Amino acid sequence: MHLKRPHFTDPSSARHPSPDNNAVIEDSDSFRLDKTVPSGHLTVQRTFSHYELLEVMGEGQFGTVWRAKDQRLERIVALKLPHLADWDEQSRTMFLREARAAATLEHPHIVRVHAIDQEGDQLGIVSQFIVGQTLLHLLQDRRLTFSESAQMLATIAEAVHHAHDAEVIHRDLKPSNILVDSDGQPHVSDFGLAKWSGDRAALTNPGLVMGTPAYMSPEQARGDSHAVDRRSDVYSLGVLLYEMLTGKPPFEGNSTLLLHQIQIQEPRAPRLLNEAIPNDLETICLKCLAKISDDRYGTARELADDLRRFLAGEPITARFVSTAERCVSWTRRNRTLAASLAIAAASIVAAIGLAFSIFSLSRPGSLAAATERPLAVSVVTEPSGATVVIYPLDELTGEPILAQAKRPSENSPVSVDLLPGDYLVVAALDDGRFHEVYRHVPRNPFAVPAYYPHRSWDRISNGGISMFPITIPPTHDQGMTPLADEESSQLLRPYLLDQQEVTVSDFLREFHGQLPLSLRGRPELLQTPNFPLTGLFFDEAVAYAEMVGKRLPTAQEYEFAATNGWTTSYPWGDNAPPAESWTLSNVGLKVFDHTQSDPPIFGLFSNASEFVLAHRPSSIQTPIAGGVFTDDHPARIVVRGGPVLTDVDARSQSDPRSETAIARLSLFRQVGFRCAKSKSPRL
């Protein structure tokens, strides 16, 4: 007989491979011995306890799966043996957890664990041997009909519900862990990552990401193990159904990108991939894939029952929920997390989706002269009922074009036709709360959006797009200085500016102790909590400012503050700056560097250079040394306040009236940011 390992052909298992809990055989003529099994495992002793080891079936993170013969009971079993070379206490705990979890379960569609055996120091799990193939291989061989898909998933869901009733959460449901027997009946296997209330050592470490990325729920993807419950398995069942219906999982890519797509991006509706998919089956699938666990089926039994209703031609209980509704619901419940995840995810895909969308807007000509067809754009606010004004931004300067403002006659939610480009969107409530955010309208709505709120969109049924929902926060001005009152300046609207740069600790406080993803490789930043947060992408700074209810300052606003209303050469006055080299330090440490305002603003000359909301043409040269990425986009990002590079004299480049323009996708360790806010909405 020739054999193959079903598990290792699963490309979705790249991060957390785990062996099939049982051996699987098909027609003997269709199998081959997988030569990738390490030779050391093929030459081990050919017996274990009273089991004769026949052939290797699978190799995984925790052990090798053998087809074996129970010499006492004269039956074929699957025997999992851990890797002796990798044996430690944690591996032993994981191995025993799987056995204990599975051994509590008795169900015709759950692979049975017969025993835990031991020979010397070696442990082994003895389980049922299924004649058939994995669901992974079944789906590779042929596409299931819609009825077959519904029937199979209903059966799997009922088995999973049985495990849930026994207080066992699987946490790693995927095609390679579903064994399909010769009668076409599925069996759930591999409880290696199960969360079992009977095990005090259950995997509940916050921040620990466990599972196979493509099939993880959002709560698993963000490492929130305390939030993992039976609805997490319902999500994974939805991924299985999605793959049965469309031929691929909802999200694809490397493990890091997958984890963030699962948390941020809505899956593409199955019927967009195959319009023959029944509407009710799509609705069931998307209900399982809701980002918020409360919006999914409460139990796997409820999912199975709805699938049975579909098969019987009866009305299902799930209702169609638009992407916009899901997005608003999730944002409402997870205001901080929504922005946090958007910032982190965008760092991963900035060089893909963001670069693509940026370059797609880099053709000559102004937005006003664009010849593209306008798109129907939905603008949603939370709460609703806001007055909305939309200003297009000049492609080269980034300044709002006031004369081209769009003012919908109705309050939010509103729909307005907009040309492709970038926009300032002002949303104001009658109670005085308002927010000013930036949004993007793509030339191609089918393009891959970046996952910052200001660079993200979602397609809607009328062929248009829905902007990322705008959350209007409570008004708070703590730590900000009011500037440019109507009497002192005719050129600027009154605004407020942060008294210091955004620090490492500021970011950690807002984002659950996490740095932006662009800085995850710099753990040394955690040792300097009061330093300015530097070395991040411009778009990460924009997204942070939006999340805290602010925005970045414009170039004029920065210069106005740093020159005391254009009346002095430096923030402190006209005296020359001290002779000292350029170094980053705690915010507010350089006591000389503060404005004459009340209260004063610190660090506009020294410490970090700072992003501002302004673009410049590419004729302005960008320093290359010290940067990690450059591009050719004609609109470069303006940096104020000091030299971009750290190996220069501060006095040579620190001038409140000078600026440097850098590539949008650049990372410079000297560049940080602070936030600003208009005193009143620009309506």
Domain hosting 112: range is: 7-131
Q: Enter the DSSP assignment of 350.
A: I
- State yes or no: pLDDT of 247 exceeds 90: yes
- The rounded percent of the chain whose pLDDT value lies above 90 is 40
Tokens at residue 119, please? 């020979």
**576 pLDDT band (50/70/90 cuts)?**
confident
- pLDDT value at 649 more than 70: no
Residue 259 lies in a domain: yes
> Is there a contact between 22 and 127 (Cβ–Cβ < 8 Å)?
yes
pLDDT value at residue 118: 82
The pLDDT of residue 513 is: 74
pLDDT reported for residue 45: 57
Residue 444 pLDDT class (50, 70, 90 cuts): confident
Within a domain: 113: yes
What's the average model confidence in pLDDT over 463-491?
Answer: 84
Confidence (pLDDT) at 221: 84
pTM > 0.95: yes or no? no
Candidates 594, 613, 614, 612; CA nearest to 604 is 594
- The answer to whether 304 touches 265, Cβ cutoff 8 Å, is no
- Whether pLDDT at 408 is above 50: yes
Per-residue pLDDT, 168: 87
Confidence of residue 581 (pLDDT cuts 50, 70, 90): low
Q: How confident is the model at residue 208 (pLDDT cuts 50, 70, 90)?
A: very low
Per-residue pLDDT, 348 = 45
Q: Residue 606: which of 625, 630, 589 has the closest Cα?
A: 589
HEC letters along 520-566? CCCHHHHHCCCCECCCCCHHHHHHHHHHCCCECCEHHHHHHHHCCCC
Same structural domain, 553 and 420:
no
> At 392, is the pLDDT very low, low, confident or very high (cuts 50, 70, 90)?
very high
Are 451 and 487 within one domain? Answer: no
Across 109-118, 278-287, 395-404, which has the greatest mean pLDDT?
278-287
**In a shared domain, residues 538 and 585:** yes
Domain boundary among 285, 315, 330: 330
φ, ψ of residue 359 to 5 degrees: the values are -65, -30
Which amino acid is residue 61, in one-letter code? Answer: Q
Distance between CA atoms of residues 375 and 369, nearest Å: 16
Report if residue 357 sits inside a domain.
Answer: no
Q: For the chain, percent helix, then strand, then coil, each to nearest 5?
A: 30, 20, 50
Tokens of 630: 């450059």
Distance CA 544, CA 342 (A): 9
Give the lowest-confidence range in 212-216, 252-256, 282-286. 252-256
Q: Are residues 580 and 480 in the same domain?
A: yes
Nearby residues of 213 by Cβ (< 8 Å), 6 or more positions away? 12, 14, 15, 16, 221, 255, 258, 259, 262
Q: Over 60: is that where the pLDDT of 279 sits?
A: yes
Whether 521 maps to a domain, the answer reads: yes
In a shared domain, residues 593 and 662: yes
Q: What's 459's domain CATH number?
A: 2.60.40
For residue 114, what is the enclosing H or E element?
Answer: strand 113-119
Handedness of CA 181, 185, 190, 191 (dihedral sign): negative
Q: Following DSSP, what letter does each residue of 121-162 receive, concatenated?
A: TEEEEEEPPEEEEEHHHHHHH-PPPHHHHHHHHHHHHHHHHH
Q: Do 231 and 190 have their domain in common?
A: yes
Of residues 555 and 97, more confidently modeled? 555
Q: In Å, how far from its chain's centre is CA 228? A: 17
Q: Which residue has the tokens 């709002």?
A: 400
Give per-residue pLDDT as tens, 233-245: 999 999 999 999 9
| Model pLDDT for residues 48-80, shown as the tens digit of each residue | 999 999 998 877 656 788 899 999 999 999 898
What is the chain's mean pLDDT, rounded?
78
Whether 629 has a pLDDT exceeding 50, the answer reads: no
pLDDT digits (tens, 9 = 90+) for 508-541: 888 767 788 788 778 888 889 999 999 998 999 9
Q: Which of 589, 608, 591 is nearest to 673 (CA)?
A: 608
Would the pLDDT of 272 be above 70? yes
Q: What is the pLDDT of residue 17?
A: 32
Does 1 fall in a domain?
no
Question: In sequence order, what are the beta bridge partners of 660?
Answer: 639
Q: Let me know whether 315 and 261 are in one domain.
A: yes
Beta bridge partners of 481: 497
Alpha-carbon distance 130 to 133, whole Å?
8
Residue 617, SS3?
A: coil
Q: Average the pLDDT over 610-614 and give the result.
A: 92
> Beta-carbon neighbour count of residue 107 at 10 Å?
17
Give 124-165 pLDDT, tens digit per residue. Answer: 889 899 888 899 999 998 989 999 999 999 999 999 999 999
482: β partners:
496
What backbone torsions phi and psi does residue 334 show, to the nearest 5 degrees?
-135, 60
The residues near 76 (Cβ < 8 Å, ≥ 6 apart) are: 54, 67, 68, 69, 70, 129
% pLDDT > 70, the chain:
73
The verdict on 311 and 388 lying in the same domain is no
Cα angle 75, 77, 80; round to 5: 155
Tokens of 167: 């207080």
> Do both 117 and 147 map to the same domain?
no
Pairing outcome for strands 421-428 and 381-382: unpaired
CA neighbor of 188 nearest in space, from 214, 163, 219, 211:
163
User: What does the alpha-carbon distance between residue 615 and residue 397 come to, in Å, rounded to a whole number?
Assistant: 4
Question: Which has more confidence, 230 or 42?
Answer: 230
Reduced to 3 states (helix: H, G, I; strand: E, B; else coil), residue 38 is coil
**522 belongs to a structural domain:** yes
> Number of structural domains, the chain?
4
What is the spatial distance between Cα 148 and Cα 254, in angstroms, rounded to a whole number?
A: 30
Cα separation, 2 vs 466, whole angstroms: 54
Of 663 and 503, which is predicted with more confidence? 503
Burial of 607 (0-12, 13-18, 19+ CB in 10 A): buried
Closest CA to 314 of 287, 284, 286: 284
Q: Considering all CA atoms of the chain, what is the largest pairwise distance in Å, rounded to the nearest integer?
A: 96
CATH number, domain with residue 45: 3.30.200.20
Higher pLDDT, 96 or 192: 96
In a domain, 29, yes or no: yes
